[in-house]
Amino acid sequence: MKYIYTDGACSGNPGPGGWGYIVLDENDKIIHFFRGDRHQTTNNEMELIAILAAYRYIQEHPNETYIVYTDSAYCLNSLTNWMFNWEKNGWIKSDKKEPKNLDLFKELFEIFNDPNHAELKKVAGHNGIFGNEMADKLATEYKKYVKYWKI
């Protein structure tokens, strides 16, 4: 069993942001990690990109069993519940609007529509859980570089 923790962060909303994920074994040994950033984004977009990147990693390493963790209730609810209704309704939410980050949701829909996809679970953020704290550090790494961006 492998565990993947994901996180996204943003300074301002929108503003500069980052995302990251970390893959751990059952002994919390780091197997892999990856991160990225954008100079103009939202927190939800960063959270979704981190989750998408984690599932792409899983697709590249299919011979393992994974559980993916997020500290975003919005992402968990969107990806395990709401998005299936959005898709049935032509990608329209109950407020008659398209969901923001629709391109990401459509890509994630393909993954989550597979009954064999890795389970996505909620983890408490900033609660001392090693994987979540490390994913947070990867996501907030962008702050080092903000001063170089011309926004």
Residue 39 is predicted with a pLDDT of 87
What is the domain range of residue 68? 2-148
Residue 76 is predicted with a pLDDT of 97
Tell me: pLDDT of 144 over 80.
Answer: no
Tell me: pLDDT of 151 over 60.
Answer: no
How far is the C-alpha of 29 from the C-alpha of 95, rounded, in Å? 44
Please give the DSSP secondary-structure letter assigned to residue 98: P
Whole-angstrom CA distances from 144 to 4, 66, 87, 115 are: 24, 31, 38, 40
Residue 74 is predicted with a pLDDT of 96
The beta strand positions in the chain, using DSSP E, are 2-10, 15-24, 30-41, 66-70, 119-122
What are residue 61's phi and psi, to 5 degrees? Answer: -135, 65
Cα distance from N-terminal residue to C-terminal residue, the chain: 42
Q: Among 68-72, 100-104, 139-143, name the one with the lowest average pLDDT.
A: 139-143
User: Tell me: the pLDDT tens digits for 77-123?
Assistant: 999 999 999 999 999 999 999 999 999 999 999 999 988 899 999 99
Catalytic center residues = 7-8, 47, 71, 126, 136
Total domain count, the chain: 1
Residue 149 is predicted with a pLDDT of 63
Between CA 115 and CA 126, with CA 120 as vertex, the angle to 5 degrees is: 180
Whole-angstrom CA distances from 21 to 73, 116, 122, 138, 151 are: 17, 21, 14, 7, 26
User: Tell me: the pLDDT tens digits for 11-47?
Assistant: 888 999 999 999 999 999 999 999 999 989 999 999 9
Residue 148 is predicted with a pLDDT of 67
**147 pLDDT band (50/70/90 cuts)?**
low
**What CATH number is attached to the domain comprising 96?**
3.30.420.10
